[in-house]
Structure 1
Amino acid sequence: MTYQQTLDYLYSKLPMFTRVGAVALKKDLHNTLALCDKLDNPQHKFKSIHVGGTNGKGSTSHMLAAILQKAGYKTGLYTSPHLKDFRERIRINGKMVSKQYVKDFVKNQQETIQEIEPSFFEVTVAMAFDYFAKEKVDIAIIEVGLGGRLDSTNIITPELSVITNISLDHTNILGDTLLEIATEKAGIIKKNIPVVIGEKQAETEAVFITKAKLENASINFAGSSLHIENAHQKKAHLIVDVYKEEKLIYTNLALDLTGSYQLKNILTVIEAILKLKEIEYSIPDESIFTALKNVKKITGLQGRWQTLSQNPLVICDTGHNKAGIIEVMQNIKNTPHKNLHIVIGMVKDKDISGVLALFPTNASYYFCQPNLERALPVSELASQAATFGLKGNTFNTVQAAFQNAKSKAEEKDLIFVGGSTFVVAEIL
């Protein structure tokens, strides 16, 4: 098979959550364990950091990978979903896995895949673990796909577990209360392995403390011990001072991910780095400063409050649940502009009305649907949006909506593209 035929095989033969939703999910770790068993259990052959949470786990994973790479560690990074290229999911020192490796892995494992009938995600996790083991990485940052307890990535024993935050998302799978979702996410807390929780939330705090106690895992809430002062934007960077209790530990720390929500993620990252230093990882301050200033360049991260062009200003963001959209709206509010144009598409299994209620009525809307089975039909999206006073035109494709927005926008206007990771993927 060529590389393209290999991808077609993975996409068409294996149940894929991003395309079809919950029916693609396997409800236990059996398939991942069986696949990895055939690969001689690569998950035991490299050190790792496990990153879960509802929002911010992608940015947090990329920041940690950038810092460890700059500190001299050969660093693997596994994330999902990809935006443009399947190989974005599996990187070492920022470089994507080769097409040849993807081809060879699928060819060599085809018999096993047909025998086990795993999901697309289960195969990509096994592929990543096999690659990191073969390439002998010093450490790999492994981002949880969905949930935690039953996520395919949850067969590793990491050096550190990180949970960014908890908000309502994938409620049809993880539960429809913060408590239920936190319980699933807490499933990555392992025996005697320290855990860092990004945000301390009254509704979920006890879940994490109880689980950590049960596993004899030390627990730190980043938002309790660390805080930020003097946050401001300077050109293409977010500049912050980080304090631990009353002591200034990093001054003028510049981050090239400029969304206001990164203020929470940076505390999670710094707390995780302090914890890694405690367990004798050598991470000089210089590597932290250099890495955070260049996360996108070092790791290839895209779609996080990303500026695509100027005059008119075009920005995209992959935020797609209520908590994510609240942050996006704050960023829009903080961005000087004359008129606001919003290109929006969504997928069916989200809290559609909860998200739409957060959008402003004084914007021009360009409703569209991403090209996948889970996409919410554009007519349905426009109809639901109208009940919240959001008015605009409908387009059958993301590109048509985007081109129309660009033709209507004036120089000082802002075009925002989002509502779904898949809308952003098509724009990129």
Structure 2
Amino acid sequence: MTNRDVSSGHHNGGLSDAITDSTSRSFSEWLTYLESIHTKNIDMGLDRINTVFQRLNISLKNSTVVTVAGTNGKGSTCAMVEYGLMQAGKTVAVYSSPHLLDYRERVRINGQMLEPQSHCDAFARVEEARGDISLTFFEFATLAAFVLIAESKVDIALLEVGLGGRLDAVNIIDPDLAVITGIDIDHKEWLGDDREVIGREKAGIMRKGINVVVGDPNPPASIYDVASEVQCRCLWQGDEFGYEELPSAWHWRHGDKILSHLPLPNIPVQNASTALAVLMQLGIELTPSQLNNVLQGMTLAGRCQIVHDAPRVMLDVAHNPQATGYLARQIRRFDYRALHFVVGMLSDKDIEGSLAPLREFEASWNLVPLSVPRGASTDMLKPLLVGHQTVIDFTSVEEALDTVTEKAHSDDLVIVFGSFFTVADALKKYNR
């Protein structure tokens, strides 16, 4: 079904002829075009993208391929593995999604984004190969990323799964190593509202005979079931490897190997533990100096990211209960005079479950709508915050932040969360 090299298609109704010379499109024109060639944002299935992949005649065999699936922790796990590989002198490519401010964030080669023209050239190759097969934005972007990664001939390619696993576009590639991070309920419309069902979808990246690092310390039973069915070898967090988190340090073990009193990383310790297990599986053993560089030097945009002081403003893309539970634990580490939340979410998320870990705080709630498809209105959020003294509607993230930071005390804490879109709007304000 899948491959490392190189059924019915949707016709695009002549949209390919809208701009006859694809090589003349600018980067921004390409991004607009990619959004126009399919009627759906999400269209599950691998037949269409696999057909185009075969036509591209590209190969990732020059690289060791690691596929990473999960609800939470994919981005931070990939980033730490990437950082660790570069510390060890390896070349590495990362494909991730979504981006926050710049589409080019989706493909990194040795930690760097590529020039817009490189993406344009990759888009043109995919456009030529697809013919009359319609691709979603994500499918087109994924194939273009594969073109760029194949050309880079890096030692390691880290491929982050976008949605699910079994039917995600990234799953047309057979990995050498698979990774499954934290499992929670998300994308209910597509994946269901049960961890067992979601776990089985995520486990779709497993392949017979390969090693799989499972970072969730309490994985759904369905992941064990798929591992048995596929006959792969799993390394489970809490069994083959694991961690103990202390107030100001942590310990990590992998088999008989123990690393003690490590500095706390800038990402969840659970994900850092998973990343270290992945590096071990890739044959990478970092020196103490290299490990300290990774744990203390690696940061990830939109994950507990401080963008302003006095008052302190922190951004986090948390948008499901597992992620907001972690955010709540981080908030407790801060000393602050008053707490302010700025939140905007998508309507198909578990909004009530996501807000629950944060409702225990005495805080002002500043609600914003998201002007994107599936964006939740403030009226959807407000009934879930009954009983809180201060709940205010705003028309945008920028308006909410302007008002909150102007009125806040210099010792206050402002948390912006709920969606990649919410955080992206905040970053636009602070990156001007």
Superposition TM-score, scaled by structure 2 size: 0.87
Give the aligned partner of residue 274 of structure 2: 268
Give the aligned partner of residue 292 of structure 2: 289
Does residue 317 (structure 1) correspond to residue 316 (structure 2)? The answer is yes
Shift of 1:155: 1.5
Q: Which residue of 49, 67, 92 corresponds with 1:50?
A: 67
* SS of equivalent residue, structure 2 residue 163: coil
Q: In structure 2, do the counterparts of structure 1 residues 338 and 75 end up closer, same or farther at CA, with 3 Å as the change threshold?
A: same
Shift of 1:12: 4.1
State whether residues 344 and 368 of structure 2, in contact with CA within 8 Å, keep that contact through their aligned partners in structure 1.
yes
Cα displacement string for residues 75-122 of structure 1 (whole angstroms, at most 9, x for unaligned residues): 000110000100000010011122001112223433444611101111
User: One-letter code of the match for 1:273?
Assistant: L
Give the aligned partner of residue 421 of structure 1: 420
Shift of 1:248: 6.4
User: One-letter code of the match for 2:28?
Assistant: Q
Does residue 222 (structure 1) correspond to residue 232 (structure 2)? The answer is no
Give the aligned partner of residue 253 of structure 1: 262
Give the Cα–Cα distance (whole angstroms) in 2 for the partners of residues 188 and 392 of structure 1.
Answer: 42
State whether residues 340 and 363 of structure 1, in contact with CA within 8 Å, keep that contact through their aligned partners in structure 2.
yes
* Range 266-275 or range 301-310, more displaced: 266-275
* SS of equivalent residue, structure 1 residue 109: helix
Give the Cα–Cα distance (whole angstroms) in 2 for the partners of residues 287 and 35 of structure 1.
Answer: 41
Give aligned pairs, total: 402
Cα displacement string for residues 277-302 of structure 1 (whole angstroms, at most 9, x for unaligned residues): 2xxx5655543332332223xxxx31
* SS of equivalent residue, structure 1 residue 334: coil
- The aligned runs of 1:36-47 (5 Å cut-off) are 36-47=53-64
Shift of 1:74: 1.0
Give the aligned partner of residue 19 of structure 1: none
Q: In structure 2, do the counterparts of structure 1 residues 286 and 212 end up closer, same or farther at CA, with 3 Å as the change threshold?
A: farther
Unaligned runs of 5+ residues in structure 2 are 1-24, 428-432
State whether residues 36 and 43 of structure 1, in contact with CA within 8 Å, keep that contact through their aligned partners in structure 2.
no
* SS of equivalent residue, structure 1 residue 101: helix
Give the Cα–Cα distance (whole angstroms) in 2 for the partners of residues 174 and 390 of structure 1.
Answer: 36
Give the Cα–Cα distance (whole angstroms) in 2 for the partners of residues 409 and 93 of structure 1.
Answer: 40
* SS of equivalent residue, structure 1 residue 415: strand
Shift of 1:334: 2.2
Give the aligned partner of residue 35 of structure 1: 52
Give the aligned partner of residue 368 of structure 1: 368
Give the aligned partner of residue 328 of structure 2: 329
State whether residues 43 and 130 of structure 1, in contact with CA within 8 Å, keep that contact through their aligned partners in structure 2.
no
State whether residues 222 and 268 of structure 1, in contact with CA within 8 Å, keep that contact through their aligned partners in structure 2.
yes
* SS of equivalent residue, structure 2 residue 132: helix
Give the Cα–Cα distance (whole angstroms) in 2 for the partners of residues 368 and 63 of structure 1.
Answer: 32
Give the aligned partner of residue 65 of structure 1: 82
* SS of equivalent residue, structure 2 residue 266: coil
State whether residues 320 and 350 of structure 2, in contact with CA within 8 Å, keep that contact through their aligned partners in structure 1.
yes
Unaligned runs of 5+ residues in structure 1 are 16-22, 234-238
Shift of 1:43: 4.1
Give the Cα–Cα distance (whole angstroms) in 1 for the partners of residues 348 and 245 of structure 2.
Answer: 39
State whether residues 255 and 294 of structure 1, in contact with CA within 8 Å, keep that contact through their aligned partners in structure 2.
no
Q: In structure 2, do the counterparts of structure 1 residues 188 and 248 end up closer, same or farther at CA, with 3 Å as the change threshold?
A: closer
Superposition TM-score, scaled by structure 1 size: 0.88
Shift of 1:415: 0.3
Give the Cα–Cα distance (whole angstroms) in 2 for the partners of residues 291 and 332 of structure 1.
Answer: 23
Q: In structure 2, do the counterparts of structure 1 residues 211 and 321 end up closer, same or farther at CA, with 3 Å as the change threshold?
A: same
Give the Cα–Cα distance (whole angstroms) in 2 for the partners of residues 33 and 160 of structure 1.
Answer: 20
